[in-house]
Structures are given as C-alpha cells and as structure tokens.
Structure 1
Amino acid sequence: MAFQGEHARVWLLIDDRAGNRSQVLGVARALGLPFEIKNIEYTAAAALPNYMLMASFSMLTQSCRVNLAAPWPDIVIAAGRRTAPVARRIKELSKGRTYLVQVMHPGSTGEDDFSLICVPRHDGMGEAENRFTMTGAPHGVTAESLAEAMQKWGGTFDHLPSPRIALIVGGDTKRKKFTPDMARELGAQAAKLARDAGGSLLVTTSRRSTPEATAALIDALGDVPANVFKWGDDGDNPYMAYLALADHIIVTGDSVSMCSEACATGRPVYIFAPKKMIAHKHAKLHQDLYAQGFARTFDGVDSLQDWSHAPLNAAFEVADELRKRLGLDG
C-alpha cells in the first residue's frame, strides 16, 4: 500500500444496525488508526438485491451521498450486505486504490472487489485469498470499555447480593421464535440458580424481545433480588455494566454478537439455546465456543460453577490480519 501507519485515511461505513456498528467500530479501534465515521442512511431501494444495485450510491439518501466525496479513503471498513454496494462504489471512484474491509459476507455480487472479507467460522465458507475466518463476531467489549463501565456504574448494584448473575436476553430472529414458554423456562431456571446461590440477577432484554416473552420472563423471576432493564426503558442501558460487574453470565444463543460480547469478559458464560429457538449456524457457533472453553451450555445446569477463560474478541484477530496484509508495524 502507498500509505504509512497513521497517515492512512480510514472511513467507517456505519448504518442503522447496532450489530453492524459494534463490529465496525470494534475492528477500527483494535486496528488503532485514526478514522472518520460516515453515517449511512438508506432509502427503500436498499431492499433491492445487490446484483441489481451493483457498485452504487443509488440506495442512499441525498444528504448521505453529499458526505461521501473525494478525497477518497485508503481503507474502508464496513459490515453487512447493504453497505457492500457503497464500499464498492467508493473503490470504483478511487480508481481501485481503496482497500475494502467487509465484516460478514457481502454476497457473491462483486465479492472480488473486497480486499478482505471477514466471516465467522460457523458460517462454514470455504477458503479464498480475500477471506479471513474468525470465531464469533468483532465487537467493542474490551478490558478498557469494561473498566469504564465499572467506574461509571460502580456501587449502583451494591444492594444486590453476590454472586450477581447477568441474564442477557435476545428474542425472535428471521426464522426462529423466542416464545413466552421459552422465556418462562429461562427465567425460572436463572431464578433458581440465583436463589440457591444466595445471589441476584442483572436482567436486560433486547430490541427483538417481544412484550409477551419479556412479561413471561420477568414473571418467572419471582421474588429473587434483581435489577431489570427492559428494551425501551428510560435511562442509560446498563448492558455494559452488567457484563463488567457480573460474576456469571447467562446469554440467549440467538445473537452472535451477544454471545461474543459475553465471552469477552473472561467470566463463566452459559448459553441458553433450545433447538426450536436456534438456527443451525448459531448452533455451530455455540459448539465452537464450548470446544474452545469460552462458554458452556445452560441446558441441565443445576448449580453455578466458578471458571474462567481468555477474553474473546474477533476484532483483534481481524486487526492483526489487516496489519499483516497492509505491512503495518505492531
């Protein structure tokens, strides 16, 4: 490449999906180069398949297009299918000079335009010169971000008895449902573990948690001491604080990002993954995490065990690979 270290011009394409944002920022921060965020706003045309959109800004709002202008960057880091035509158009306008890094597979259309495509191992994709496989998903949960959360929230949950168990709850996915019955089962088992240990629960739900599943989960907690933050509640979301302060973590297996972020803490992680809730690819991720010692199944757990593991964050795997390919020091 023609640039050296801090002189590289790096753009992050950040769209409206929180998971995409977390992965792109995680990689950029792990890489350690200065970067500029380009907020991506779509029109209805973004729903069209990429083979129709090609390398284009045509699915972007006018105000968004205005902010994508020369001088073109040396590196673009993006995530998800919808950003792929935008990244490819930037490379086209730069006369092929821009190095494109895409987290998650962008689809077969224009795949060769990307310099590095970072795909989870559980996707089961084959080898390719521009493809890099990783465990789980990149994210921004690091020792530094956990320390910041601990400082910000330290003392907030001191009234809750230890051990404190974070219960991180997702919800419905495209093809699978997180039903009220599943939520009730999860809540009851987590409450029993907390009660038997003389501890408490730190509970948070997500955007995909339905009101019915959320109500069933909370009802099943009974009188166990708990702090509960439901998606949409007022105030700051204590998600990072829960990860930082929990002695144990229980996470639903519907989200690659949530499982990966839980495993970044080094704390005991249990994954709740009923077959009817979990897609095949997610089940493959869970088996990978179990095999490498990052997590254990929540199925049949009747008491909490104290154990630890190395923190997991694919952002550092991707950043190391990028440094190698770009010839950057350290």
Structure 2
Amino acid sequence: MTKLKGLLLTEGMHGMISQVEGLAKALDLDFIHEKIELNNFWKMIPPKLTPAQNFTFKNKINQNFNIVISCGRKSVIPSIYLKKIYKNKIMNIHIQDPKVSLENFDLVVIPEHDGLNGKNVLKSKGAIHYLRNDELEKNIDYLKPKINKEKIVTLVTGGPNKYYDFNEKEINRIFSKINDNFIIKGYQLIFIPSIRTPQKIIDYAKKYFDNNQIIIDKVDKKAYLSSLKLTDYIVVTCDSTSMISEAAMTGKPIYVAQMEPVRNNYRFKKFFELFKSLKIIKDLENSLEKWSYDKLNETDKISDYIKEQFKKYDFS
C-alpha cells in the first residue's frame, strides 16, 4: 500500500519539529517539512484576526499531500487556508492551542495541562514527540568513548523564553546542585544544550565543571539520543515541557531544574503537577532519590486514534 503523504508546518523550532515529526512518523507518513514565513504585516497580527488567504504567508505550497500537521502560531493560517481549498481531500491536524476556533481543524492535539476541550480535541499527557527507543539504541555508542565512570547524569538545557530568563544566578544555582547531588558522588556529567541555549551558558559550563565532564558545545542530536540511553538520571531545565516529555519516554528518573519565573507560569505549573502525579518528575533540590514510572508513549496512543479516522477522507 502506498504511504500517505504528510505536509509538516512549523516555525522551525526544535519543540515544534519534534511534535509534528513524531506524529508523522507514528502515522507512517511520507512527509516533508515546510518552515512557514509570514509576510511582514501579518507577523504582527494574531491568527484570529488574520484572513485565511495565501497572501498572508510567503510559502508556495502545491498539493502533494494528504495530511497537514501544523504546530505553532505562524502555521495556523496556512493550515486553515489549505483545508479551505482542498476540503475533504486532506486532513488537517494542529498541535497546541491554535488560538482560533477549533472547528478550523479536523483534529487538534492538546497537552492535557492546557485544559482545552472540544469534540475534535485529542489530549496528550505532556507533548508528543519524535523520540523512539530504537533511535536511542542506534545512537548509544556515540558518546561511549568519552564515558569513564559507571554512573552518569545528563543535564539537558533549554534557553530564555517569556517565562524564564536564565540569569547568571539561576544557572549558577543549577550547576551547583548538579555538582553537589551528582558529581561529588561519583557521577559523570553529560551537558546537552538545545538550539535555544545561549553560547555564554555553554562557555560557563566548560569553566564551571572539571575536564572529566562531557560538555557538548553545539546542538548535536546524536549526542542527545546517546546521552538519554546511557544516563542513570536526567535533569531538564524547567523552560521546556517538550524536552521533559521526551525524557519521559525513557522511564528514567527526571529531575526538573526549576528557576524563578519572570511572569505567571500557570501552564508550566499545571504540567509539573500532572507529571509529578504520574511520578515522572521531581524538582532538583539538595538530595538524590531513585524512582521508576511507566514510560510515556502518548504519540502512539494519539496516532492510533487518528489512523481510525483516515477512512472518512477522500485521499485519492
């Protein structure tokens, strides 16, 4: 049977790509990415006030797809426009709250902690993502030559956003807890930056930690996958629910390195409460515990439901 074709629409950020690509892979689609670029004026206008017309975005999209999977504010209007043009010949799925009427989409995939409801809403515990255990297994040897201790801790760092500014005091406090909880107890650190991690934090990690620690100094997917497979503990900075959700597919203890928010972080708090209730995460404090939980596999759960809906569409 010929694979269905997928069109993935995002703003190009890792968290968004991880979600749309993860769903596309779980649906077994033959997919391509399209990084959406809005025309200048429409960059400033919220989606609910933007007409669903192709003059609002720069991308030239031809119909060679069956499923549109979008994520992020910029991708909302192109998805609605394509659905309006091709109607039942395509299925359009949006991930995250689109901030417009949910009726513009066939399905909307929303994290449970967002509290959004609707007849076409599929709820996930945390963010769906692209990680699969076979990918981790395939990359396990990537960092092995650098490992010289039996116990490993991985620190996955995000970067500044509207809620957390990653100031020097907060970073110093996180690094100090990594040192006191892990390194002085015989653990080797693997430091993994993301695309949002400022260079000054990477440089500071190199200075702060001794030469026995592994400091990855650029975005390196293989290092990320290898570290998740090799590590005993995972520490993730609190700014990224996507990276915490990705880590939860390992079943390994996850500490969240909390920082003082610079604005109301209500949605983050709801996410942390949910994951604590599932016994997936604990806050990084001044002690070390061991615990286990059921590996999170929300992407497959969501995709199984979507596959059942395919028969309603004219994918000819």
- TM-score > 0.5 by shorter chain: yes
Deviation sequence 1:187-207 (CA, Å, 0-9, x none): 111112223431210012233
Aligned to 1:316: 300
State the one-letter code of the partner of 2:156: I
285, 297, 305: which one aligns with 1:299: 285
1:283 aligns to 2:269 (yes or no):
yes
Aligned to 1:225: 212
State the one-letter code of the partner of 1:46: K
Structure 1 residue 327: Cα displacement = 5.1
1:238 aligns to 2:231 (yes or no):
no
TM-score, length basis structure 2: 0.88
1:253 aligns to 2:246 (yes or no):
no
Against the structure 1 CA distance between its residues 161 and 286, is the aligned structure 2 distance closer, same or farther, given a 3 Å change threshold?
Answer: same
Q: Secondary structure at the match of 1:12?
A: strand
Please, which runs of 5 or more residues in structure 2 have no aligned partner? none
State the one-letter code of the partner of 2:28: G
State the one-letter code of the partner of 2:160: D
Aligned to 1:118: 109
State the one-letter code of the partner of 1:17: M
Against the structure 1 CA distance between its residues 276 and 9, is the aligned structure 2 distance closer, same or farther, given a 3 Å change threshold?
Answer: closer
CA distance in 2, matches of 1:141, 1:82: 24
Structure 1 residue 131: Cα displacement = 1.0
- Which aligned pairs between 1:10-89 and structure 2 lie closer than 5 A? 10-44=6-40, 45-61=42-58, 64-65=59-60, 68-70=61-63, 73-89=65-81
Contact 2:150 2:187 in 1 (8 A): yes
CA distance in 2, matches of 1:296, 1:175: 20
Q: Secondary structure at the match of 1:93?
A: helix
74, 82, 89: which one aligns with 1:90: 82
Contact 2:9 2:69 in 1 (8 A): yes
Q: Secondary structure at the match of 1:138?
A: coil
Contact 1:10 1:75 in 2 (8 A): yes
CA distance in 2, matches of 1:142, 1:200: 25
CA distance in 2, matches of 1:87, 1:280: 28
State the one-letter code of the partner of 1:279: N
Contact 1:53 1:85 in 2 (8 A): yes
CA distance in 1, matches of 2:182, 2:3: 52
Against the structure 1 CA distance between its residues 90 and 310, is the aligned structure 2 distance closer, same or farther, given a 3 Å change threshold?
Answer: same
Deviation sequence 1:44-69 (CA, Å, 0-9, x none): 333422134321222332xx31xx12
1:207 aligns to 2:199 (yes or no):
no
After TM superposition, which residue ranges in structure 1, 4 or more long, deviate above 6 angstroms?
Answer: none
CA distance in 2, matches of 1:205, 1:321: 34
Structure 1 residue 219: Cα displacement = 4.1
Structure 1 residue 231: Cα displacement = 4.0
State the one-letter code of the partner of 1:294: I
Deviation sequence 1:135-164 (CA, Å, 0-9, x none): 11111111111112114x053223x31211
Contact 1:179 1:213 in 2 (8 A): no
CA distance in 2, matches of 1:236, 1:265: 16
- Which aligned pairs between 1:146-157 and structure 2 lie closer than 5 A? 146-151=136-141, 153=142, 155-157=144-146
Deviation sequence 1:20-42 (CA, Å, 0-9, x none): 11110000111123334444344
Against the structure 1 CA distance between its residues 91 and 195, is the aligned structure 2 distance closer, same or farther, given a 3 Å change threshold?
Answer: closer
Q: Which has the larger displacement, 198-207 or 28-37? A: 28-37
State the one-letter code of the partner of 1:87: S
Deviation sequence 1:206-225 (CA, Å, 0-9, x none): 3333445445555443x372
Against the structure 1 CA distance between its residues 154 and 205, is the aligned structure 2 distance closer, same or farther, given a 3 Å change threshold?
Answer: closer
Deviation sequence 1:88-133 (CA, Å, 0-9, x none): 111111144321111111112x4312011111111122x2111111
How many residues of Structure 1 are paired with residues of Structure 2 in the alignment?
310
TM-score, length basis structure 1: 0.84
CA distance in 2, matches of 1:37, 1:135: 25
Q: Secondary structure at the match of 1:238?
A: helix
